[in-house]
Amino acid sequence: MGKKIFSGVQPTGNLHLGNYLGAIKNFVNLNEDEKNSCIFCVVDLHAITVNQDPKKLRDNTRETVATFLASGINSKKSIIFNQSQVSAHSEAAWILSCTARMGWLNRMTQFKEKAGKNKEKVSSGLYTYPNLMAADILLYLADLVPVGDDQKQHLELTRDIAQKFNNDYSEFGGKDFFPIPEPLIFEESSRVMSLRDGTKKMSKSETSSMTRIELRDENDLIIKKISKAKTDPFPIPESIGELDNRPEVKNLLNIFSSLGEEPILNILNNYSGKQFSDLKNDLSDLLINRLSPIRQELIKIDNDEGFLREVLNDGAIKAKEKSEKNIKEIKKIIGLG
């Protein structure tokens, strides 16, 4: 049976290989299955939880949509839209923030990481951000959410919120109202790590761009970044078990495996005993082979403002139609209006 799929990406610029392998590549596959109904959202309301330059935010929103399309998501088969254009997201976020418990939000590790020692100075939106994410998903009654591993805890919170809402209002039409959404996380690509430190996630916000492959990187730059990627002094092993405590090597193999859709063991069979430079050369070729068509398409689409506006307008109309129907139901259950 087909699934109702929802996922989102923040328009904060520098979209990278982690975003592609952890999320966007999987969106493309899910979108190709005719049975699924897919909604992919550029979550600009999430982006403003930290300071944004308004002009850059608008450009990055366009760029994120262009990346979805360039990667192969078909806007005729999926709904692609911009979160802030559909006001039911903000409304549902408020309602669900009254279901979510403080203790649940207090456990969110991403807030702790992002706020760091600055807890008193960050926006309150950064703290309540997971309520908005739950609203995004539940507003469309989605049952499957493709994400990278870093979003797993937010998904667990979304499930808790859905369950509590259904229980709290079970006598008022809320019983089983929200499906309990499942995360869809693919092992090899769920945590693409920094090219310079295999214990840290590849991230948009890391200051050095040498830590990540960006989707706009030219071929020469991809070769340079991979050739400079950290490895270790030991030989390429024969078995997966020997990869423990070798995070950088494991990361390169995971990237190879998920990009080439080939089991890690096959790759080890090909490279064990060989030089890292052999593995890196082939990995660069594979990256160029997969990413350069996306980059070329991205540049083309990003320049076509009319087309992007059309995709976003069309997506917003469809997203509004679905979300307004559901928010009405939600309000009726609660006794609002």
Which one of 9, 108, 126, 279 is in contact with ligand TYM (CB under 6 A)? 9
| Annotated catalytic residue, options 56, 77, 164, 204 | 204
Residues 199-228: x/- map of binding to ligand TYM (CB under 6 A)?
Answer: --xx--------------------------
Place of tokens 């990406």: 9
Structure tokens at 92: 């549902």
DSSP letter string, 281-331: HHHHHHHHHHHHHHHHHHHHHHT-HHHHHHHHHHHHHHHHHHHHHHHHHHH
> Given the rule CB under 6 A, which of 5-13, 217-225, 261-269, 319-327 is the region that contacts ligand TYM?
5-13
Residue 258 is a binding residue for ligand TYM (CB under 6 A): no
Distance in Å, CB of 227 to ligand TYM, minimum: 20
**119-151 burial: b if 16+ Cβ within 10 Å, else e:** eeeeeeebbbbbbbbbbbbbbbbbbbbbbbbbb
User: Looking at 31-39, 70-78, 143-151, 170-178, which segment touches ligand TYM (CB under 6 A)?
Assistant: 143-151
- Contact between 7 and ligand TYM by CB under 6 A: the answer reads yes
Which alpha helices (DSSP H) does the chain contain, by range? 17-19, 25-32, 44-47, 54-71, 88-97, 102-106, 109-115, 124-138, 152-168, 219-227, 247-260, 264-271, 276-302, 305-334
From candidates 5, 88, 145, 319, binder to ligand TYM by CB under 6 A: 145
The catalytic residue among 56, 114, 224, 250 is 114
**Nearest distance from C-beta of residue 147 to ligand TYM, angstroms:** 4
Assess whether 204 carries a catalytic annotation: yes
Among 3, 4, 5, 19, binds ligand TYM (CB under 6 A): 19
SS (H, E, C) 216-248: CCCHHHHHHHHHCCCCCCCCCCCCHHHHCCCHH
Active site residues: 114, 201, 204
Note the residues at the interface with ligand TYM (CB under 6 A). Answer: 6-10, 18-19, 22-23, 43, 46, 133, 136-137, 145, 147-148, 150-151, 154, 190-192, 201-202
